[in-house]
């Protein structure tokens, strides 16, 4: 019997997840299928219950369904509880759906394992205070950066996140204009602006010499924030393709109990992307 998995989202047609999971399955010799299914928010509950009633084993949920998946899951991992969002659902042997969030762990793995970037002892800045930021805060704080600042257009949302996570660490919350005169070792872009080729207004000298820029979004061309990092002489200016593959590997591990090697898959998808440019 082939075990069935899928990713739900809307839109979903450009998703790389079916390809990534197929590569993982081949590599680890797991007998499974993985499809992408377009599911708008209003159809989420019906689509998920049908999928699991039909014997589906696990789901990934992406935009705009992660908060709905969090509400739907009967049990949740601590990191999913902190994120208030679920990107991975697993049908457990006891019949209860487990919700996990592997996004933050995927980001940390990409930074530390794939790019040898340590967060410990670094001054970290996150741009944006939406769901993407909430999803990565707990795993980032676990790495014990010296400081963590969230800058957002709507300052109250950054302050709200700082308050929600105050049991883990002191988080500085501010607006973009408050960044003038400050410097950071690592800047993560978690705004949705980058995808429409826009950037928050960022002062010059924000990034320390040899600093790191990382855009959680990815695209076939360099994103606006990746270009900003290049222009400001970042030692590395990366996008989120590696994070995507690492969060998928963590989901695969939750479902199958086998951890796929990600290096070859990252190299392959990067090469395919380069060939389209």
Question: Can you give the binding site for ligand ATR, defined by CB under 6 A?
Answer: 128-132, 152-154, 157, 190-193, 198, 200
Q: Indicate the burial class of 228 (C-beta count within 10 angstroms; 0-12, 13-18, 19 or more).
A: buried
Q: Which residue is nearest to ligand ATR (CB)?
A: 130
Q: Which is nearer to ligand ATR, 152 or 247 (CB)?
A: 152
User: Of the candidates 94, 96, 49, 95, which has an alpha carbon nearest to the alpha carbon of residue 68?
Assistant: 49
88, β-bridge pairs? 60, 100
Q: Could you tell me the smallest distance in angstroms from the CB atom of residue 158 to ligand ATR?
A: 8
Q: Could you tell me the smallest distance in angstroms from the CB atom of residue 189 to ligand ATR?
A: 9
Q: Could you tell me the smallest distance in angstroms from the CB atom of residue 28 to ligand ATR?
A: 30
What is Dmax (Cα atoms) for the chain? Answer: 60
What is the DSSP pairing of strand 207-215 with strand 236-238?
parallel
Q: Could you tell me the smallest distance in angstroms from the CB atom of residue 107 to ligand ATR?
A: 13
Q: Which is nearer to ligand ATR, 200 or 211 (CB)?
A: 200
Q: Could you tell me the smallest distance in angstroms from the CB atom of residue 220 to ligand ATR?
A: 19
* CB count in 10 Å sphere of residue 17: 22
Q: Which is nearer to ligand ATR, 156 or 209 (CB)?
A: 156
Q: Could you tell me the smallest distance in angstroms from the CB atom of residue 248 to ligand ATR?
A: 18
> d(Cα 75, Cα 58) in Å, to the nearest integer?
14
Q: Which is nearer to ligand ATR, 91 or 193 (CB)?
A: 193
> Is 66 an annotated catalytic residue?
yes
**Long-range contacts from 214-217, C-beta under 8 angstroms, 24+ separation:** 214/107, 214/111, 214/186, 214/187, 214/188, 214/189, 214/238, 214/239, 214/240, 215/188, 215/189, 215/239, 215/240, 216/107, 216/132, 216/136, 216/188, 216/189, 216/190, 216/240, 216/243, 217/189, 217/192
* CB count in 10 Å sphere of residue 131: 18
Q: Which is nearer to ligand ATR, 115 or 153 (CB)?
A: 153
Within its chain, how far is the Cα of 51 from the centroid?
24
Q: Which is nearer to ligand ATR, 25 or 138 (CB)?
A: 138
Question: Which of 66, 76, 90, 122 is flagged as catalytic?
Answer: 66
Residues tagged active-site: 66
């Amino acid at each position: 019997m082939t075990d069935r998995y899928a990713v739900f989202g809307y839109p979903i047609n450009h998703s790389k997840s079916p390809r990534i999971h197929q590569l993982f399955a081949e590599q680890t010799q797991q007998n499974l299928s993985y499809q992408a299914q377009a599911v708008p928010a209003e159809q989420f509950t019906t689509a998920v219950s049908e999928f699991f009633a039909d014997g589906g084993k696990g789901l990934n949920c992406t935009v705009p369904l992660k908060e709905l998946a969090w509400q739907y899951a009967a049990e949740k991992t601590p990191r999913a509880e902190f994120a208030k969002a679920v990107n991975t659902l697993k049908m457990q042997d006891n019949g209860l759906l487990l919700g996990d969030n592997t996004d933050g762990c995927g980001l940390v793995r990409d930074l530390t394992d794939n790019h040898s970037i340590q967060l410990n002892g670094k001054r970290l800045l996150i741009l944006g205070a939406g769901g993407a930021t909430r999803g990565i805060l707990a795993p980032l704080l676990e790495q014990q950066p010296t400081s963590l600042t969230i800058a957002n257009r709507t300052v109250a949302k950054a302050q709200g996140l700082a308050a929600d996570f105050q049991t883990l660490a002191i988080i500085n919350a501010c607006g973009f204009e408050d960044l003038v005169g400050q410097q950071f070792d690592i800047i993560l872009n978690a705004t949705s602006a980058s995808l429409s080729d826009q950037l928050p207004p960022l002062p010059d000298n924000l990034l320390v010499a040899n600093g790191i820029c990382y855009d959680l979004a990815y695209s076939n061309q360099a994103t606006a924030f990746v270009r900003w990092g290049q222009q400001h002489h970042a030692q590395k200016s990366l996008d989120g393709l590696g994070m995507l593959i690492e969060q998928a590997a963590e989901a695969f591990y939750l479902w199958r109990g086998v951890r796929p090697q990600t290096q070859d898959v990252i190299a392959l998808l990067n090469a395919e992307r380069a060939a389209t440019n």
